[in-house]
Structure 1
Amino acid sequence: MESSRPLLKVHRVFQRRNQTGKNASRMPWRVRWIKMADKLVRGKNDLSSLYPELAAEWDHEKNEGLDPDMVLPGSGKRVWWKCACGHEWKTAIYHRTAGHGCKICASRKAVLKPGVNDLATRYPELSEDWDFEKNDPLGPSDVPMYSQASVWWKCSKGHSWKNTVSHRIQGQGCPYCAGNRILPGFNDIVTLKVSYLKDWDFRKNHDVKPEMLGPGSTKKVWWRCPKGHSWEAAVYSRTAGSGCPYCAGNRLVPGVNDIATAFPELVSEWDYDRNNGITPDMVAKTAARSYWWICPQGHSYSSSPGSRARGCGCIYCAGKRLMKGFNDFASQYPELLKEWDWDKNAGIKPDEIPCNRHKKVWWTDSQGHSWKATTSNRIRGCGCPYCANRVVLQGFNDLSTLQPDLAKEWDYERNAPLKPDMITAGSHRSVWWKCHLGHSWRSPVSTRNSNHTGCPYCSNFKVLKGFNDFEHHHPELKDEWNYERNEGLSPSDYTYGSHKLVWWICPEGHEYRRSFSERHTGRNCPYCAGSKVLAGFNDLKTQTPWIAENWDYKRNRKLRPEDIFPYTNRKVWWVCGNGHHWRASVNARQKGAGCPYCHGLLPGKPHFIS
Structure 2
Amino acid sequence: MPLASTDQCQWRCSAEGCGKQWPTRLQFRTRTINPTGCPECWKRRNRAPGPGESLADLNPALARQFRRNLSRPGRGPDTLRPQSHDLCEWECAQGHFWPAKLANRTNGRGCSDCTGHGRSPFECNVAMLVEAASGLSVELDHRLHLPGRRQDRFDLYLPQPLPGLLIDLDPEWTHNRPGSLERDTAKTVAALAAGLDVERIRSRGLPPVPVHGFFHNEAGPGVNPHDWAEAVGTVLRRRGLPWRQLTAAETTAALMKGAHLWERAVAGPATSALDVVPHLEEEFVANLTKPGRAPGRMPPGCNDLCQWRCRKPDCGHEWKAAIASRVLDGRSCPECGHARVGAANSRPGPGESLAETNPSMAEELIEVIDHPGWTALDLFPTSNKACRWRCPAPSCRFEYPAPPSRRTGQSSGCPRCARQRTAAARVRPKPGKSLQDVYPNIAGELLEVTDEPHLTAKDIRPSSTKPCWWSCSKPSCPGRWEATPDQRTRRRGTGKRCPVCHPPRKSPTRT
Query: For the superposition of Structure 1 and Structure 2, which TM-score range results when normalised by the shorter chain?
Result: under 0.3
Q: Give 1 or 2 for the bigger CA radius of gyration.
A: 1
TM-score of the superposition, structure 2-length normalised? Answer: 0.22
